[in-house]
Amino acid sequence: MTDAAKAAEKPRSQWADVWAQFRSHRGAMIGMGFFVFICLLVIFGPMLWDIAPNKIDIRAKNQGPSLAHPFGTDQLGRDTFAQVLAGGRVSLLVGVTAMAISLFLGTLVGVLAGYFKRLDSPLMRLTDLFLALPILPLLLVIIMLFRDPLRAAFGPEKGIFILVVFVIGITSWMHTARIVRGDVLSLKEQEFVLAARSIGTPPHRMILRHILPNVLSPIMVSATLGIATAIITESAISFLGLGFPSDFPTWGRLLSDSTNFMSLHPERVIWPGLAISLTVLAVNYIGDGLRDALDPRIRGR
């Protein structure tokens, strides 16, 4: 048998099938490409763009787009393009960190509720309680209560970052917990789990080696959608003036500061709003592609 025939008969791995299905989703590929481009732009862009985002030049205030200032300038002469790049760093970092917190809490609650029957009812009632809370008013109340102590303890930027990330993380884990719990309830009745239990596998090893690897699909989809939700929530908080300081740009803060000049300079609202919208849209398309790629019923078509 030739090497080509052997290569043709070699079975493909599961992740190769997942990647092949993901590549067939045109929107997911476009979204991933744009999201990678945005990440590279906000990470390396400030290193290449020599204008600092907080540099004030009163003589150049309220200018339109030009070669020197591609996105124009604000009322203090600060370069809008540099601010969008710097604000993207903060917004994406908030989104990823808050998503990690919510994913950890949601996975922990979902696995414990699904695997241990005695914990199912209290943990699900706790989840229902969080789902019943009005999230945005709760966010505003928590920020108003803890903003000043954290600013005094960690500084104005770091304190607000810790507060915003923590608040978004602890108020967005509920849907992940419900999805993971449902999958764990189904998995723990499968033959391989019953076989592992019959030979005396302890619960912690059962969860880590048999349960968690099989619930990665909904966790990965929740992760992508969680980034989009966290970016939107941070933008809403900053837009209401309760987020980061005015001299610390984020996309939501830039959008809030630009509304006062919307009638005179509408482009100042367009740039941060477009950055938020396109980034969230790209992440949502990535989530749709992952959901289809990780579903064996669709992948087997």
Q: What is the mean pLDDT of residues 260-283?
A: 84
Is the pLDDT score of 277 beyond 60?
A: yes
Report all structural domains of the chain as residue ranges with CATH numbers, in order of start: 86-299 (1.10.3720.10)
- Closest by Cα among 224, 253, 222 to 236: 253
**Sorting pLDDT into bands at 50, 70 and 90, what band is 51?**
confident
pLDDT mean across residues, the chain: 83
Residue whose structure tokens are 């993901």: 22
Q: So what's the pLDDT on residue 29?
A: 92
- State the pLDDT at residue 208: 84
Q: Which of 4, 16, 230 is nearest to 102 (CA)?
A: 230
For 175-228, how does the pLDDT look when each residue is reduced to its tens digit (9 = 90+)?
Answer: 899 989 988 888 888 888 888 888 888 888 888 888 888 888 788 888 888 888
CA distance 193 to 207: 10
Of 28, 100, 19, nearest in space to 287 by CA: 28
What's the confidence (pLDDT) of residue 6?
A: 47
CA angle (297 as vertex; 294, 300 as ends), nearest 5: 90
Count, residues in the chain: 301
- Tell me the pLDDT tens digit for each residue of 3-48: 554 444 455 666 677 788 788 888 889 999 999 999 999 889 888 8
pLDDT at 298: 55
d(CA 250, CA 231): 10
pLDDT at 1: 45
Which of the four pLDDT bands, split at 50, 70 and 90, describes residue 145? confident
Is the pLDDT at 84 greater than 50? The verdict is yes
Residue 106, token pair as written in the block: 């949601």
Least confident of 4-18, 71-85, 115-129, 283-297: 4-18
pLDDT at 33: 93
- Rounded to whole angstroms, the Cα distance separating 246 from 238 reads 9
Q: Each residue of 224-259: pLDDT tens digit? A: 888 888 888 888 888 777 777 777 788 888 888 887
Rg (CA), the chain: 23
SS (H, E, C) the chain: CCHHHHHHHCCCCHHHHHHHHHHCCHHHHHHHHHHHHHHHHHHHHHHHCCCCCCCCCHHHCCCCCCCCCCCCECCCCCEHHHHHHHHHHHHHHHHHHHHHHHHHHHHHHHHHHHHCHHHHHHHHHHHHHHHHCCHHHHHHHHHHHHHHHHHHHHCHHHHHHHHHHHHHHHCCCHHHHHHHHHHHHHHCCCHHHHHHHHCCCCHHHHHHHHHHHHHHHHHHHHHHHHHHHHHHHHHHHHHCCCCCCCCCCCHHHHHHHHHHHCCCCCHHHHHHHHHHHHHHHHHHHHHHHHHHHHCHHHHCC
Tokens of 86: 């710097």
Tokens encoding 38: 């945005």
142 backbone dihedrals φ, ψ, rounded to 5°: -65, -40
Q: N- to C-terminal Cα distance for the chain? A: 30
Query: pTM for this structure?
Result: 0.82
What average pLDDT does this structure show over 295-299?
A: 57
pLDDT grade for 273, boundaries at 50, 70 and 90? confident
CA 261 to chain centre: 30
Q: Which whole-number Å values give the CA distances from 30 to 56, 180, 286, 296, in the listed order?
A: 37, 28, 9, 23
